[in-house]
Amino acid sequence: MSIDLKTIKHISKLARISVDEQRAEKLAGDLNSIFDFIEKLNELKTDNVEPLTSIAETTLKLRSDEVKSKNIREQIIKNSPQDNEDYFVVPKVIE
């Protein structure tokens, strides 16, 4: 298998990470060597194996639906790069 530059561009778009040509080439090289290594898994037959989705073999505990954190608006907004009163500010979305 080979990951080409077109695939790198596609993944970088999905991951929302801008990648210039030079980095795309480096990433393609790195990812190809990592996937060569990962391909080893194909040696194993796993048709009848149940996937392991949770390591802790317990069912999730239910709790009552109560508000525990009240009036923390200030705390939530405190670390935002840009805010206006109670809102996060982002670049204009609708023209």
Which residues fall within 8 angstroms of residue 12, CB to CB, at 6 or more apart? 18, 19, 24, 27
Mask 12-51, x = binds other proteins (CB under 8 A)? x-xxxxxx-------x--xx-xx--xxxxxxxx-x--xxx
The length of the chain, given as a count of residues? 95
Q: What distance in Å separates the CA atoms of residue 74 and residue 58, rounded to the nearest whole number? A: 36
Nearer to other proteins, 55 or 67 (CB): 55
Report in angstroms how near the CB of residue 65 gets to other proteins at its nearest: 14
Q: Which residues form the interface with other proteins (CB under 8 A)?
A: 3, 7-8, 11-12, 14-19, 27, 30-31, 33-34, 37-44, 46, 49-56, 58, 60-61, 63, 72, 75-76, 78-82, 88, 90-93
